[in-house]
Structure 1
Amino acid sequence: MNVVVTKSSPAVVAGPSDAGVVLLSSFDRCMGPTAVTLLLVFDQPIDEPVKTIKNALSQALAHYPPMAGRLAATGDDGELHIACTGEGVSFVGASVSCALDDEEVTRSALLHGDLAVGYPAEYCSLSDPLVLMQVTEFSCGGFAVGVTWNHVIADAAGMAQFLQAVGELAWGMPAPAVVPVRCEIQGSLPRLPQPLVAAMRSHMRVETEELVALDVTIPSSLIKRIKFECGGDCTAFEAVAAVLWRCRTRAVISDDDPNASVPLAFTSNVRGLVGSKEGYYGNCITFQQVQATSTTVASGEIKDLVRLIKLAKEKVPDTFQNVGDVGETRASGGRDQQQLAVAAPRYNVLGVSSWRNLGFEAVDFGRGSPARVMWKAHQTVGFVCVVCPPCKGEDGVSVVSLCVKPEHADAFMAELATLNI
């Protein structure tokens, strides 16, 4: 069965003009102008979802003027900032010829991007909107909200806060519950040293490999088993990351290269660690990495991989020693970050990011939380798995993967299936 998605022409939802300039923090500059796409699927209907959400978006931009602005460059060095010009968010209304209970068809539409709007090029340009939104109505009354944004404007936690605000305004609140903070000075963020910024940006560079997008579920039974083996000292993320790391290593690394370096890189939301103010919605994440050989990962026990991940998580605060209000941090992790960029072939490195507990599962446009939250994979940022919030009706953790070439996809899925027995 083919899914037919009928889309309106893009409209511009304008924001307040002449709202000033927002300087980019060093955390923003780590990301680079790469696209991120989120899909929220709601199985409970609301009245006229396209119109309702478009109106709420317009109201929300009055509280979040940078979202309606554009990137701009100034000075001889071309330093970027956000100009709050009010040029607006690109908005598309759409309808689809199937119901949400057509699960296989719906997932296919999600994975292939029919329910979201994308940027025309690999990198976002200065003239592009910072946010694109599509609201799609299904034949059953359910709807999906697809949001694509330039990573420079916000990380996942920041975008979740913004969408919660849109939802609150959609169901009648006079103002968002959380007062937004975007400026680096307002947010009291530290400045990261330039070597660390450069190393983190290396993770965001454009890929040229052809990779396969896969939608997989790590069963709750497997996660519970791993937690038991770890004596209860294990989070769901640590268990899932260890599973993905071992299965991918077995699938893509040849047995004749037992000492190959196969690092695991993961993101950490460090708002609490660096003391950012409540309501800060810019970027505030860092990358941490775990070094190991292919033999260690492919042949070791899952509980040992969990231990390596836990040790790396414990080192995250070391990156922000001696934080000052205006001075740079002493980034003890910077050297490790740079080593990660050069120590192993790019395809050997697996990135894992978690969208759990960031706030996407709390977005509500009037009839409750989403039945599914999903990352839309972009080929430009590959070798990544995103751990998504729980899906309604599924017993396990949902993961969207863009980490294997076509010739390794079957082996990767087979390793996951074997581990799940």
Structure 2
Amino acid sequence: MAIVVISKSPPVLVKPSSDPATSATFDHFSLISLTSYDEPNVGRPVTAFLVFECPIDDPAETIRRGLSLALVPYYPISGRLTNFALAYDVFTAIHCSTMEDAGVPFVAASADAALRDVDLRSHLEELAVFYPADGDPLMRPLLLVQVTVFSCGGFVVGVTWDQAIADGAGMSQFLQAVGELARGMPSPTVVPFRHDLALAGMPLAIQRVDRLINSLQPSLLTLVHASVPYSLVTRIKHEFAAVYSGQPCTVFEAVTALLWRCRTRAVMSESDPSSPALLGFVADTRRHAGAKHGFYGNCCFLAPPVAATSGAVAEGDINDVVKMIQHAKDRIPSLYSASSTTDYDEDGRRLQELADTGKLGYCNMLGVSCWRNLGMEKADFGGGTPARVMGYMKEGMGRLPSCVCLPSVDGDESFSVMALCVKEEHAAAFLIELATFN
């Protein structure tokens, strides 16, 4: 691969192109209170990269213009987080009124090599703007954007955002709107909503799980990029259907079962086969929570962990592992039902007991999220949709070992996985397990 030099311009602050109050979607809130879905995500950065191989005219200026136009209906994204007092409590909100420093920092960059000659995974830290590691999430930008143009005319759009403003589906919706406006459409196809009084609150059981995970001792994790062949996923799906009388198995279920099994096998040397193995996966609950069409705030959470023993996951039938994941997915709607409170309270008590006895941590917990159907792969700034969507996870201390399934690429014969789920001493074993699964 070629050596590449990436040059960056100083950041400019992109503001809404006109007064948001004139927008049909302006809801007259200068302060938008964070919901129970937003609050756990304050200060949690997410970075995604959209890789475009087809050139367009002046990518940086085209996207900067589209961004400025999109910030009119999506005006909260140009705001800042702030605290406000109400009675005897202090709450966090999005401050949306006009401020001198409101807006989105935008960096135009260039690379002196062609996309096809560059291993982008080695340059991700140069292809986006990041928040300071020790920065205060209050009053800092909620979104950072960088557009890097390569010598071939292809370009990479790197976006980093504070997850308090939007989940992955919400940010995908916003990026699609930026693309539509950059292409000359008069308004976004989807009317955005950030303030939704009808939204059901995050279930208390989920809030307890989130607090529990945040209380765990972090482990030093190493980043691993893995591929899961289509042929293997297809085989798991077909075998599952044969065992369960034609019942379907989704790609997500097959890939998640495989990751859980292989990761558990890789770390088994540090755990007993009878020890617990727990899997949590991120679920988008817009439909269950009653979110309006176009709502782009947070409406996802880590579902209550699927519980098994390490031995059952590592050595049992993969079809049984898939079935456990399906059962957990089927339970999600009932989280919003008062009648299910007792069941989930019992789940919470078991988790707390494991944590209290030191049986919850690196060896037996895995979180999986999926970007395959979020919509980032549909963003189009004028030259078509991205050839690839990539993510960034910084190596270091993490409380929940995690894997992210990335969108597939047309013509590719595998699913890409970004994994921050193993310590360095287990990374090779994890990749070997994936490569030799049978």
TM beyond 0.5: yes
What's the TM-score, normalizing by structure 2?
0.88
- Please say if residues 221 and 397 of structure 2, whose CA atoms lie closer than 8 Å, have aligned partners that are also in contact: no
Aligned match of 2:406? 388
Distance 2:345 2:116 in 1: 47
State the identity as a percent.
Answer: 46
From 94, 102, 125, give the equivalent of 2:109: 94
The answer to whether residue 433 in structure 2 is matched with residue 415 in structure 1 is yes
SS in 2 for 1:44: coil
Distance 1:90 1:191 in 2: 32
Q: Where in structure 2 are there 5+ consecutive unaligned residues?
A: 22-28
Shift of 1:280: 0.2
Aligned match of 1:6? 7
SS in 1 for 2:38: helix
SS in 1 for 2:43: coil
- Please say if residues 35 and 124 of structure 1, whose CA atoms lie closer than 8 Å, have aligned partners that are also in contact: no
Distance 2:35 2:343 in 1: 19
- Is the deviation greater in 116-125 or in 292-301? 116-125
What's the TM-score, normalizing by structure 1?
0.91
- Please say if residues 279 and 367 of structure 2, whose CA atoms lie closer than 8 Å, have aligned partners that are also in contact: yes
Q: Where in structure 1 are there 5+ consecutive unaligned residues?
A: 324-328
Q: Per-residue displacement from partner, 1:250-292 (whole Å, max 9, x unpaired)? A: 1112276111212010011111122211000000012222011
Distance 1:166 1:33 in 2: 24
- Is the deviation greater in 41-50 or in 4-13? 4-13
**Pair 297,106 (structure 1): closer, same or farther in 2 beyond 3 Å:** same
Aligned match of 1:326? none
Name the aligned partner's letter for residue 418 of structure 1: T
Shift of 1:210: 2.6
- Please say if residues 319 and 331 of structure 1, whose CA atoms lie closer than 8 Å, have aligned partners that are also in contact: no
Aligned match of 2:226? 216
Name the aligned partner's letter for residue 168 of structure 1: E
- Is the deviation greater in 31-40 or in 264-273? 31-40
- Please say if residues 267 and 287 of structure 1, whose CA atoms lie closer than 8 Å, have aligned partners that are also in contact: yes
Q: Per-residue displacement from partner, 1:105-140 (whole Å, max 9, x unpaired)? A: 223223xx2211111025652021011111111111
Aligned match of 1:333? 344
Q: Map of 1:253-292 to 2, 5 A cutoff?
A: 253-254=268-269, 257-288=272-303, 289-292=305-308
The answer to whether residue 322 in structure 2 is matched with residue 312 in structure 1 is no
Distance 2:397 2:205 in 1: 23
Q: Per-residue displacement from partner, 1:15-64 (whole Å, max 9, x unpaired)? A: 35786111111111232321111111111111111111011101110111
Distance 1:284 1:158 in 2: 9
- Please say if residues 165 and 298 of structure 2, whose CA atoms lie closer than 8 Å, have aligned partners that are also in contact: yes
Distance 1:334 1:119 in 2: 37
Shift of 1:184: 2.9
Distance 2:216 2:132 in 1: 14
- Please say if residues 205 and 344 of structure 2, whose CA atoms lie closer than 8 Å, have aligned partners that are also in contact: no
**Pair 115,334 (structure 1): closer, same or farther in 2 beyond 3 Å:** farther
- Please say if residues 321 and 331 of structure 1, whose CA atoms lie closer than 8 Å, have aligned partners that are also in contact: no
Shift of 1:295: 0.3
Q: Per-residue displacement from partner, 1:129-153 (whole Å, max 9, x unpaired)? A: 0111111111111111111111111
Name the aligned partner's letter for residue 117 of structure 1: V
Aligned match of 1:132? 144
Shift of 1:196: 3.6
Shift of 1:193: 5.2
Distance 2:353 2:151 in 1: 50
Distance 2:112 2:352 in 1: 45
SS in 2 for 1:63: coil
Shift of 1:70: 0.6
Q: Map of 1:187-226 to 2, 5 A cutoff?
A: 188-192=198-202, 196-203=206-213, 208-226=218-236
From 304, 316, 333, give the equivalent of 1:300: 316
Distance 1:44 1:149 in 2: 25
Distance 1:374 1:135 in 2: 14
SS in 2 for 1:141: coil
Distance 1:42 1:206 in 2: 39
